Amino acid sequence: MLPSITDQVILITGGASGIGLATAHLLLKHGAWLALCDISKESTEKFFSELDESQKKRVITGVVDIADRSAVTAFLHLAKETFGKVNGIASIAGTAGRKLGHQEIWEIDTAEYDFVMDVNVRGAFNILSEAMRPGFLEPGASIVHTASMFAERGFAKGSIYSASKHATVGLVKSAALEAGKHGSRVNLVLP
């Protein structure tokens, strides 16, 4: 077991598939307690149903659209009320959009722009702004946000996705400056 993870309460967004799902399994393996949310009810239910009974006692799940601030707030508070604390957040939820790699910038409509920006930028903002309220996270807590290698470069036929990931870099860097004053950490990974 990793002593830094054992008995820690970690909230994971986008936890029912991909990187989030792999993170959830790794954290459970090392003794963490999880509050896992995802926008997909089916994937979230599948994740929970496949856990063994001892793991189910250490996990709560929820269907959450991270672009909805009230839903984020409610799930964060549910996690803290259930477990008594939140030691960290793995902010993994995001979207590539519905048409990534298929449209040049002049072909992208407002609905696609709003969808990608709402999930990737507003979602990151909602998580950071609600979790970093004084007294919510445990002292020394850590928030890790997942962006993309396209947070550092352009993406032909992926301009909105790239722009959204660039925006999250600014949010996370700014939040990191603020978190340090309160004894917490905010980091960014770019897979």
Positions annotated as catalytic residues are 161
DSSP E strand boundaries for 50-128 = 59-63, 88-91
Maximum pairwise Cα distance, the chain: 52
Cβ contact 24:12 at 8 Å: yes
- Alpha carbons 26 and 100: distance in angstroms, whole number: 29
Distance, CA of 146 to chain centre: 7
Task: Output the CA torsion sign for 22, 27, 31, 34.
Answer: negative
> Given the DSSP bridges, would you call strands 88-91 and 9-13 parallel, antiparallel or unpaired?
parallel
Eight-class DSSP state of 138: P
